[in-house]
Structure 1
């Protein structure tokens, strides 16, 4: 018999997230990451990492390894150059979703690509969010994929972007190796609210702009809400906002 957790909604303001700051990087972490370890804040559902990164021009993350992790990257502003040990090389930009399944092991680098641009944008930072979820099984070979969803987002609706859940496989969503998780994104428009999926675990993150969430209140850029055993909340905006929502039907604890 499945054990249901009591309904809960936890608001995590942007200012409460741990911060990493070096000369070329400004990073905000929603969960424990690197030296910012808190045993009470390691994950929500199967989401382990929700990092907001701001990388200066000509800089970035040098080649480093990953293993047995589903990694989703969503660029808000600027462009990000990806290169990996499987031979993939390309630029990730707003409207292009990227998924890297690290599997048995992959090396990759991520660098701000704006220095290639002519004109005043050549020294702009790249602003992106990177999210990690655990796969259902370990030991699969590494894999890489990306998809354009800019046109789909123009409607303001909630768009499935990456999923291992069968009900979302018919569309353009990237496939991830977790059958209980899906990432949705919406570029909210005034007068067109969206409804949060009803799932045992939901993570709502306001990436840009401001929004109002039913029974929660106003949310600003970088704020997030962790929902447990509750869903169906309406989210609206009076200006414009970009919202990332993880729908998860299990947790790392298996409940």
Structure 2
């Protein structure tokens, strides 16, 4: 990972910027996918992962199309639909539809098979597919999903994922916390790290914002580590931001 040192309020920390137009791109006709990190035929040795955050794919799937049944193991897989409806089936017997405002998680663990398809024939589905390395291998596979209360995200960051089954949001086998926020223009929010050894990867779903002094536009990614807290300032109306706090060291 390339990094640079920044100084904010006399605090030195490390960061890495991934502009939206620098991502890997795969266009299969039925699938348009943009990869923040190396994935499939896109390989960039400087973009293998951000700590335990291994995959951040921005996918658009054409009406009625999708991914046939395929295997996964030893990975925490998170899907966040942005538009449309995504149909899911897996070898654990789960059949579900996830839509905008939902989050889905699969702990692949010792091994699963699953498929994902656009439920609708007449419009695309757009979703973020995120993979996180687990802190335990070969756990029993599991599935979960929930619907956000979007009112809790207005001008603040709302937790949607954690390592604790009793916390708000879904949970995974990793010391990671995800938060979503939806901001009006000129709103400043401070995020305090849950673990000072972790890093945070900021993904601008839409809008523009300044994060730790760095200007970010729609679909830009910005990773920061070696910091206790971080300031986020939205600079346009209707700005949506995903924060992913993750351990920086692989086990």
Match of 1:174 among 156, 167, 170: 170
Distance apart, 1:189 and its partner CA? 2.3
State the 4+ residue runs in structure 1 displaced beyond 4 angstroms: none
Is the Cα–Cα contact under 8 Å of residues 196 and 235 in structure 1 kept in the other structure?
Answer: no
Mapping 1:169-208, distance limit 5 Å: 170-178=166-174, 180-198=175-193, 199=196, 200-208=198-206
Q: State the TM-score, normalized to the length of structure 1.
A: 0.87
Structure with greater helix share of residues: 1
2:223 maps to what in 1? 226
| Greater strand fraction, Structure 1 or Structure 2 | 2
1:55 alignment partner, one of 43, 52, 61:
61
Q: Are residues 1:7 and 2:35 paired?
A: no
- Alignment root-mean-square deviation, CA: 1.8
Distance 1:68 1:90, change over 3 A: same
Q: Is the 8 A contact 2:211 2:230 kept in 1?
A: no
Q: CA deviation at 1:237?
A: 3.5
What number of residue pairs does the alignment pair up? 237
Q: 1:27 aligns with which of 21, 24, 33?
A: 33
Contact 2:153–2:180 (Cα < 8 Å) also in 1: no
What SS class does the counterpart of residue 15 from structure 1 fall into?
helix
Question: TM-score by structure 2 length?
Answer: 0.88
Unaligned stretches of 5+ residues in structure 2:
6-11
Taking a change above 3 Å as real, the CA distance of residues 40 and 151 of structure 1, as seen in their structure-2 partners, is closer
Shift of 1:209: 2.4
**C-alpha offsets along residues 141-179 of structure 1, whole Å, 9 cap, x if unaligned?**
110001111335443310111111x5xx5542111101x
How far apart are the structure 2 equivalents of 1:170 and 1:84? 25
* Equivalent residues in 2 for 1:1-255, closer than 5 Å: 7-115=13-121, 123-164=122-163, 170-178=166-174, 180-198=175-193, 199=196, 200-217=198-215, 219-230=216-227, 231-252=229-250
